[in-house]
Amino acid sequence: MEFDLSAFKVLIKKIFPPSKCVYTIDTNNDGISDSILIRALNVVFPIEIPEEIDIEDLSKGQIDPDRLNFSNFLNIYLDDEQIHIPKNIQDKESLTQNFTLYHKDQRFSFKDIMEGSFGGTTIALGDKIDILIKVSDETLKKLTVGNHNLKLELASFPKLKVEFDLSEENFNRKYLDGSFE
C-alpha cells in the first residue's frame, strides 16, 4: 500500500527537528567524523516494538540472508542525489559493525535487533531514538552548513523525506555510548 506522507510534514518536523536530527559523528575519538547520526523524537504516542522483526517482510522477501544487498530494496538520497550504500555494509556481519541504534542508554546492533533484543521495548512519548550509520568520506563531505534533505525509499514502506539544517554545532560531534560528549 502506498501512502503519501506529505500531509504529515508538520509531524515529521516534530519527529525530526530540523536543526537537531542529523549530525556527523566521531565514534572512535580520533577527531574525524566517520558516521552520521539520525535522531528521531517520539512525539506521537508510545510505540511497542514487536517481539520479532522480520526484515524480509519489510523488504517484500528481497533479502538473501547470507548476502544482504540493501540497494535491492532500500534507496537513500541526500539532497536528491542517491547515496550508494558502501559494499562494506552489504552482509550481515559488517552491517552489525556499521549500524547501531540507541534507545535511552541501551545500544542495539543490527544483529541485536534481528535476534529480538530490541523486541518488546516501548518507545515512550518523548523518548529519542538515535540511529548511527558509518558512511563513506564522500557522503560526509556532502554534508555542509545549510539546508539539506534526506529521503528514504523502502520497498514496503512509504517514502520518507526529512528536511534538516546543519550548523557548525552539528559537525564532528563526539558520541559515545548513546550520548554526546
Predicted pLDDT of residue 133? 86
Predicted pLDDT of residue 138? 87
Predicted pLDDT of residue 56? 53
Predicted pLDDT of residue 29? 86
Work out whether strand 22-26 and strand 173-176 pair parallel, antiparallel, or are unpaired: parallel
Is 65 among the domain residues?
yes
Predicted pLDDT of residue 156? 64
Low-confidence ranges of the chain (pLDDT < 50): 1-2, 58-60, 62, 65, 88
What is the DSSP secondary-structure string of 97-118?
A: HHEEEEETTEEEEHHHHHTTSS
Is 180 among the domain residues?
no
Q: How far is CA 161 from CA 2, 39, 61, 68, 146, in A?
A: 15, 14, 24, 24, 17
- The residue segments making up the domain with residue 63 are 37-174
Is 76 among the domain residues?
yes
**Among candidates 49, 45, 43, which has minimal Cα distance to 128?**
43
Is 179 among the domain residues?
no
Is 49 among the domain residues?
yes
Task: Measure the CA–CA gap between 145 and 142, rounded to whole angstroms.
Answer: 10
Is 97 among the domain residues?
yes
Residue 43 contacts residue 125 (beta carbons within 8 Å): yes
Total domains, the chain: 1
Is 4 among the domain residues?
no
Predicted pLDDT of residue 96? 60
Residues in Cβ contact with 80 at an 8 Å cutoff, skipping those fewer than 6 apart: 149, 151
Is 11 among the domain residues?
no
